[in-house]
A and B are shown apart, each in its own frame.
With several copies, the nearest count.
Chain A
Amino acid sequence: MSELYEEKEESLFEAPPMGEQERMVEAILFATTEPITVRELEARLPHGCDPAEALVHLRKRYEGRGVTVTRVGDAWAIRTASDLGFLMQKETVETRKLSRAAIETLAIIAYHQPVTRAEIEEIRGVSVSRGTVDQLLELEWVRFGRRKMTPGRPVTFVVTQDFLDHFGLESARDLPGLKELRAAGLLENRPPPGGDVPRDEDEDESADGQSELFED
């Protein structure tokens, strides 16, 4: 392998050749169950390594194989190919059934993040029961995000890396149907006409969120 990368060797100086770096990244990713960030990889590899580039090579190498190199937010993990799930009955873990309220709340957090409790309630039309958010926090699928710059500075909820990992998403941008929902204006936080609630600043804020991530 290493001859492929020989032309780089003079600039890498002390760093191992790219083929070696790829092996190292492979070993580290195989050894753990949790996704590992590029930063962590950098810290664990010998000085001067370029894990981001090694990952590109490694990912290509595992294309179409029984296990694949998967991106999870800003981290990476090896996961079995999902078409082989039928072989794994033995490994399947029974997950707690989420209530319909919890599933809807999770979807709202994912698609509208960062989103406040009041906004979730506005969308669902009912108050969010304590158990619901509690359950999602415990699963570590959602966490507290940045506070909103609106009166009362309410906390917000966002989804986590565990969430992305669980649903096989590279990033929150890859949520199914996100673009269409955004184009249809359904991710907006439209205040009721007449403006009983002074929501203007909220508006600005939420535009920063999920919807604006895609402006580019």
Chain B
Amino acid sequence: MAENLFEEDKVSVSERLAAEALIVDVDGFEGPLDLLLTLSRTQKVDLRRVSVLQLARQYLAFVEKAKALRLELAADYLVMAAWLAFLKSRLLLPPDPTEEGPSGEELAAHLAFQLERLQAMRDAAARLMARDQLGRDFFARGQSEMVTRVRKVTYSATLLDLMQGYARIRTRDDFRPFVMDRESVFTMEQALDRMRGLIGYAGDWTEISTYLPEGWDNDPVRRRSATAATFAASLELVKEGHLEMRQSEMFAPIQLRKRD
């Protein structure tokens, strides 16, 4: 893997063209591993000698390009991109002896193994389907012989029948009318009542979490319900002109203040 460290980012014109052709066909891939396998073919080497660093670059370039073209990429493509970016940095930086976990080379070797194994299974599948097949290349007896002297009835059932029968019984009782479990639900009406009584004291910016009713913050189910109701009630009060609301950035605390 060491030789990769000195590799320049030399993506040839033909490779770039190939990568663009790939993007148009993004729906044709069965996930990131499939795409990586296709990309690795542009290196025209034995899969065991594939340069994972180069592959990571190609993949990241692909994802960038797809983003620029505003193509929808499924989440797992982005997860793979993040992982490859991490892998790329590991491969490029000298190993940090204090760092825990597998080295970049180990990770790269595993990825190469996965690609080789997937390719091997595809080849195996192709060879399997190329075999002579029953009913196409060779044939079973056309007529089973019927001798009518002895008649006996047997009963047949397949494993599928059996399993489906069982599933049928066991799922029959799953259906009951939908009933809300009221005990752990804090309604918006309750929250509104509570907030109306409290906002008189909220002259300064105060976090919304402090408005949660007591006794609702231990059980996660109850906390979720109370948070949602309090938030909805706050919005309602903002709409009515009684409250102001702010949040500095995503996931930052939400703050409330009485409107003068």
Contact = CB atoms under 8 A, between A and B. Distances in A.
**Direct touch of chains A and B (CB < 8 A):** yes
Interface of A: 27, 30-34, 77-82, 84-85, 88-89, 91-98, 100-104, 106-108, 110-111, 123-126, 135, 137-140, 143-144, 165-169, 175-178, 181-182, 184-187, 190, 192-194, 197, 199
Contacts of B103: 193
A143 B163 CA distance: 12
Interface in B162-219: 162-172, 174-176, 178
Contacts of B166: 104, 107-108, 110-111, 181
B34 interface: yes
Interface stretch (B62-70, B128-136, B252-260): B128-136
In the A-B complex, the 4 residue pairs with the closest CB atoms: A125-B33, A107-B125, A193-B102, A107-B166
A92 B150 contact: yes
B160 interface: yes
A189 B161 CA distance: 17
Given A126-B33, A194-B102, A108 B141 contact: no
Contacts of A124: 30-31, 33, 118, 121, 169
B147 interface: yes
Given A95-B135, A101-B30, A176 B121 contact: no
A143 B106 CA distance: 36
A32 B125 CA distance: 30
Given A89-B147, A108-B121, A194-B101, 11 more contacts: A31-B144, A79-B140, A92-B147, A95-B153, A98-B155, A102-B157, A103-B128, A168-B159, A176-B128, A178-B167, A187-B164
28 contacts: A31-B144, A34-B142, A79-B138, A81-B138, A89-B150, A91-B135, A94-B152, A95-B153, A95-B156, A97-B156, A98-B155, A98-B156, A103-B157, A103-B161, A107-B165, A107-B169, A110-B128, A125-B33, A126-B33, A167-B128, A169-B131, A175-B163, A181-B163, A187-B171, A190-B174, A194-B106, A197-B170, A197-B174
B15 interface: no
A210 B118 CA distance: 17
Contacts of A85: 132, 136-139, 147, 149
Contact of B155 (A91, A107, A135): A135
B164 A186 contact: yes
Looking at chain B, what size class is its interface with the partner chain? 35 or more
A199 B151 contact: no
A176 B132 contact: no
B34 A126 contact: yes
A102 to B, nearest CB: 7
Interface string B65-103: 000000000001000000000000000000000000111
Contact of B110 (A80, A101, A192): A192
A119 B136 CA distance: 32
A6 to B, nearest CB: 29
Interface in B25-39: 30-34
Nearest to A137: B160
A211 B95 CA distance: 36
A14 to B, nearest CB: 23
Q: Which of B106, B107, B109, B171 has the most CB atoms of chain A within a 10 A radius of its CB?
A: B171
A187 B31 contact: no
Contact of B153 (A81, A94, A194): A94
A27 B76 CA distance: 53
A95 B154 CA distance: 5
B123 interface: yes
Q: Which of A100, A143, A176 has the most CB atoms of chain B within a 10 A radius of its CB?
A: A176
